[in-house]
């Protein structure tokens, strides 16, 4: 019996021991759940963080994109505005240019009228003693000189011997009536008969500064009222020079206007 009991005890003990062991084993197996829970939480937190980060990135990205878009639109508008301003500025500049050339035209016309009444009016765009016609100045030099000397005299005044190349100048020269005055015709080797002034204006006889022309030439052209004649270049006569007029100075005319006003008052 006792033996049985003992066995039973033993068995019981044994079983309890094994149970114990089993329990222990179970405990050993059951122990990990605590760390796995933490890991899961951590993983979850990490995922959440990642998600948050992603969302943040997305939000940030869209904000960035929106701001960029707005800024680009602003830039485009600014560019458009700049273009409008630029075209406006060029338009205004054109208007100013037009206005100033109109003003210049008016000043020139007014000055020409003043010049008709007072040949040495301050506004005259030609030097003293020079006649003014359109955009050129003319002067007769009354010293008797050879053609070459006359040509030289003109060049010392930054001018050249007169060439009549259009109707307007022709009309002006005819109205002034010049007698026996060298012209800027090319010297020629063979004598030519005289012809009417009108017939010469379209000719190619007008002198184009060319020294070989001078060397070969013996006969030079001169004006006698309404005609052109040829004579030895070494004979002496007067000469008529021409040069470009300066633009009429608007301020010079205004100054004279003031003086005229005062003169009128006196
Ligand atoms: C351009 O010029 C016109 C007048 O010529 C004016 O009315 C308009 O306001 C100007 N535009 C700008 C953007 O300056
Ligand atoms: C200035 O503009 C007007 C029209 O606005 C035109 O008739 C005129 O010919 C222009 N003048 C010049 C010198 O361009
Ligand atoms: C001719 O022109 C030169 C330079 O362009 C100038 O120095 C000189 O004063 C002018 N002479 C006359 C007489 O106009
Ligand atoms: C005629 O010719 C002169 C120069 O010889 C020139 O100054 C003038 O402008 C010309 N006139 C015309 C209407 O072409
Ligand atoms: C100058 O004259 C020579 C001879 O008449 C001619 O061959 C030459 O082409 C002329 N030059 C100019 C620039 O007219």
Domain boundaries, the chain: 2-59, 131-244
Instruction: Write the DSSP symbol of residue 15.
Output: H
Q: Is the pTM value of this prediction over 0.75?
A: no
Q: Is 136 in the pocket of ligand 4 (CB under 6 A)?
A: yes
Dist. CA 197–CA 195, nearest whole Å: 6
List the one residue out of 127, 122, 124 whose CA is nearest residue 141.
127
Average pLDDT, the chain: 84
User: Is the per-residue pLDDT at 91 higher than 50?
Assistant: yes
CATH 3.10.310.30 is the classification of domain 131-244: no
> Residue 169 Cα, ligand 4 centroid: separation in angstroms?
7
Number of Cβ atoms within 10 Å of the Cβ of 230: 21
Atom 1 in ligand 1: which residue has the minimum CA distance?
88
Query: How much is the average pLDDT of 126-134?
Result: 95
User: Is the per-residue pLDDT at 12 higher than 50?
Assistant: no
Determine the residue of 88, 89, 99 to mutate for testing ligand 1's pocket, defined as the one with the most ligand atoms within 8 A of the Cβ atom. Answer: 88
Q: How many Å from the N-terminal Cα to the C-terminal Cα in the chain?
A: 169
pLDDT in tens, 168-211: 999 999 999 999 999 998 888 888 888 888 887 767 778 776 65
Q: Is 169 in the pocket of ligand 4 (CB under 6 A)?
A: yes
Can you give the pLDDT at residue 78?
96
Can you give the pLDDT at residue 217?
76
Atom 6 in ligand 5: which residue has the minimum CA distance?
212
The DSSP annotation for 77-145 comes to HHHHHHHHHHHHHHHHHHHHHHHHHHHHHHHHHHHHHHHHH-TT-TT-SS-TT-EEETTEEEEEEEEEE
């Amino acid at each position: 019996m006792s033996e049985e009991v003992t066995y039973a005890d033993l068995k019981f003990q044994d079983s309890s021991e094994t149970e114990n062991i089993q329990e222990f084993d179970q405990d050993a197996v059951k122990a990990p759940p605590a760390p796995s829970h933490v890991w899961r939480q951590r993983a979850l937190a990490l995922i959440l963080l990642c998600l948050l980060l992603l969302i943040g990135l997305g939000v940030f990205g869209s904000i960035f994109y929106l701001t960029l878009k707005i800024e680009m639109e602003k830039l485009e508008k600014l560019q458009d505005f700049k273009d409008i301003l630029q075209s406006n500025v060029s338009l205004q500049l054109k208007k100013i240019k037009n206005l100033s050339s109109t003003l210049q035209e008016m000043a020139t016309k007014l000055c020409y009228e003043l010049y008709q009444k007072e040949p040495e009016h301050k506004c005259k765009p030609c030097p003293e003693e020079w006649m003014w016609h359109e955009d050129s100045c003319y002067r007769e030099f009354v010293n008797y000189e050879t053609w070459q000397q006359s040509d030289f005299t003109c060049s010392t005044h930054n001018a050249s011997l007169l060439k009549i190349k259009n109707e307007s100048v022709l009309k002006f020269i005819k109205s002034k009536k010049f007698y026996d005055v060298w012209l800027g015709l090319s010297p020629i080797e063979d004598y030519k008969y005289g012809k009417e002034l009108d017939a010469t204006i379209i000719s190619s006889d007008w002198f184009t500064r060319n020294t070989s022309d001078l060397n070969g030439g013996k006969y030079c052209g001169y004006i006698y009222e309404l005609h052109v004649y040829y004579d030895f270049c070494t004979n002496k006569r007067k000469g008529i020079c021409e040069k470009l007029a300066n633009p009429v100075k608007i301020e010079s005319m205004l100054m004279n206007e003031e003086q005229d006003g005062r003169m009128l008052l006196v």
